[in-house]
Structure 1
């Protein structure tokens, strides 16, 4: 395993949340209460969750800040992460609950969900930065996709996100290109 459980879980949740942003003319996938419920079903959080319009707006507003982590390199990520920790009033503490072994919560359970998300993502990126694994923070290599992901593969070979069948689509496109080149030669 590249990262411990809570770090990997926070990184996956962050990528999922960032990928709800509208990209390349697409729709925003975190607009409605149902969209918010879908996010929470896949990415459960402990602590207070209000599930109201204000909380949805706060979570939506944190997405661009998280997205910046995929747009920069390791060194440029440090001030972004430090800013998130500072702005979120991070007070990391070890906790154990709900069948999970000891892990870190970065804020109190009654902090706003958007703050808890931001701090948990920042703490996960602390691990990425400290482990010198920032090359695993990636944007999909498909021509028509801007989704982000974390490459958890053992050999760092993942090039495409898991949404939209990007890897298969790009392989089919490459095959068709090679076939057309052979036919035209």
Structure 2
């Protein structure tokens, strides 16, 4: 996986966490999502890989849903302590040099996903001095999202969810 910016890896973490937790994605959907988020070729992902990825998504869900920075930092540190190795540069599979935090180039998808996602979220938290993401406040969504901007914290994963909630609120108020 070639990721040059922590925000790209964090976006991938949010997308894959949402796919595994909200959509209950299968192996084909996970492979497509990984390819869409930078895998040079569509990877071979098995049902066993997806089963191993789900607990990682659960841990990331907790991080995205953390109520404050201190809780998010503790959860990220716990995940890093359990999954990450010293960062290293890797140029596997014909890719250009990029950063890895998993144990080696033969790490499982789950090991790689946990370590790389935790590292990306840690960098965002440290850079922004704020939560690295959140869970969509829309009752019909709840997807994780990444916060990279400097403004007020986001409540929704997309403008679409925010608009849908504003329209629903307006309609309720008119009744």
Same fold (TM over 0.5): yes
CA distance in 1, matches of 2:163, 2:59: 30
Match of 2:108 in 1: 112
2:87 and 2:100 in contact (8 A); partners too: yes
- Give 1:156 shift: 3.5
For 2:54 and 2:44, the matched residues in 1 are separated by 14
Aligned residue in 1 for 2:30: 36
Deviations 1:96-124 (A, max 9, x none): 68776x64211222111111111011111
* TM-score with structure 1 setting the length: 0.74
Supply the distance in 1 between the matched residues of 2:98 and 2:73 (Cα, whole angstroms).
Answer: 22
Consecutive unaligned residues of structure 2, counting only runs of 5 or more, are: none
What's 1:176 paired with?
171
91-100 or 109-118, larger mean C-alpha shift: 91-100
Is residue 2:154 matched to residue 1:158?
yes
Q: Is the 8 A contact 1:151 1:157 kept in 2?
A: yes
Residues 134 and 147 in structure 2, CA contact (< 8 A), matched pair in contact too? yes
Query: Which residue number in structure 2 is paired with residue 65 of structure 1?
Result: 59
CA contact (8 A) 2:19 2:30 kept: no
Size of the aligned set, in residue pairs, is 169
Please report how far the alpha carbon of residue 22 of structure 1 lies from its aligned counterpart in structure 2 after TM superposition: 4.4
Are the structure 2 counterparts of residues 125 and 33 from structure 1 closer, same or farther at C-alpha, using a change threshold of 3 Å? closer
Change in 2 beyond 3 A, CA 1:128/1:152? closer
| The structure with more radius of gyration | 1
